[in-house]
Amino acid sequence: MKGNIFNIQKFCTHDGEGIRTTVFLKGCPMACKWCHNPESISPLPVMAFYKSKCQACGRCKTVCEYGAIKDDFQFDREKCVQCGKCIDKCLVSAREKFGYEASVDEILEQVMKDKIFYDNSHGGVTFSGGEPTFQIDFLLALVKKSKELGLNVDIETNSFTSYENMKSIAPYIDCFLMDVKIVDDEKHKYWTGVSNKIILDNIRKLSDELGKDILIRVPLIPGINNSEKDLTLLADFVNSLKNKHKVELLNYHEIGISKYDACGMDYELRDTKPVESIKDAIEFLRNKGVEMENE
């Protein structure tokens, strides 16, 4: 079985316990305005052009048979068929294609190369995205095979999928890293494009009904979900679960912005700046009785 992925990243230490390989699957049903992996949202490959790297040599234009490179060397995305010839021709890596097809065996062959590091660090494989459940059949095949190979398996998910899907993969997952972006549903709809009802329901059921190991992760976006009211709602939700689960706050950063430009996408939060420290928010949640993953 084949699926669409856009990266296999080795030696990750922030996507679960120990040293891990993270496999990034393409496609996401949400549209968070701060997404730092915009190239992952479309289930299809995305072409990127880094204007700041371009030397205007024109080599790419000479090989494009579809007239898909404009005079300023930007892509004409209507005409581009993603053949990749311009990428090979560019000497300064100003062009890139995000996304390719890979089989379960091809991916896990890569993952298994670092098995010794996982074994020595309690690490393993993490499936991320995009949203990995967006390709649920492919994900199910990946996690099943990973378990057959004796791997520790985590999933990093926004949980915007049916509970049936969650239940189908649950027996093969050691830890669910589940995002909670905003607990207030009206705000959630505005900033992510969807209601959070299904997300919070999934977390509650995986915790209360299946007793799964869950780490709740919250990207803290200044001015959007870091107010005392937002943090109080978050604490109330976490404290209402039958089982105790740690929360990890992730500080907002601007690393993804250049990818929006390169992929020809709009980024609405250009004026949002990272805060120097999220220590106050961590302490606020601790004082509300929330167990924190952050130090």
Q: Which positions lie near ligand SF4, rule CB under 6 A?
A: 47, 54-60, 63-64, 66, 68-69, 73, 75, 80-86, 89-90, 92, 94-95
Phi, psi (5° rounding) for residue 24?
Answer: -100, 115
From 76, 18, 23, 35, select the one nearest 191 (Cα to Cα). Answer: 35
Distance CA 137, CA 1 (A): 9
Q: Minimum CB separation from ligand SF4 for residue 45, in Å?
A: 10
Treating both helix axes as pointing N-terminal to C-terminal, what angle do 228-240 and 279-287 enclose, rounded to 10 degrees?
50
Treating both helix axes as pointing N-terminal to C-terminal, what angle do 136-148 and 104-112 enclose, rounded to 10 degrees?
40
Q: Minimum CB separation from ligand SF4 for residue 97, in Å?
A: 7
Amino acid at residue number 50:
Y
Q: Minimum CB separation from ligand SF4 for residue 93, in Å?
A: 8
Q: Minimum CB separation from ligand SF4 for residue 215, in Å?
A: 39
Q: Which is nearer to ligand SF4, 93 or 277 (CB)?
A: 93
From 33, 41, 32, select the one nearest 271 (Cα to Cα). Answer: 33
Whose tokens are 């996401």? That residue is 28
Burial class of residue 262, CB neighbours in 10 A (0-12, 13-18, 19+): buried
Q: How much helix, strand and coil, in percent to the nearest 5, is found in the chain?
A: 35, 20, 45
Q: Minimum CB separation from ligand SF4 for residue 241, in Å?
A: 47
Q: Minimum CB separation from ligand SF4 for residue 167, in Å?
A: 40
The DSSP-derived string for 50-113 is -TTT-----HHHHH-TT--B-TTS-B-TTT-----HHHHH-TT--EEEE-EEEEHHHHHHHHHT
